[in-house]
Structure 1
Amino acid sequence: MNVAVTPENLPAGPQLLDSAGQPAAGKVAYHTEITCS
């Protein structure tokens, strides 16, 4: 989770999610909402 929160690791986050077969864009937005909250 910290990976998605860290801007430097942002590109690494989507790749991990993409490997899982889940929508990276959707996950990024989801993590963004969690971070904002």
Structure 2
Amino acid sequence: MDAFFGLAINQIVQFGLSSLQVIYYLEQLFREFYNELIFN
């Protein structure tokens, strides 16, 4: 049971980290887009 539990936590952590990377990437894109709108 412990091995399964550890695996589940590992999966959740991996998923969380990849989600953070996607959110960060989208935020960067949005910021560039926003700057283009304001300064042009």
For normalisation by structure 2, the TM-score amounts to: 0.38
Which has the larger helix fraction?
Answer: 2
Higher RCO, Cα 8 Å, sep 6+: 1
For normalisation by structure 1, the TM-score amounts to: 0.41
Larger Rg: 2
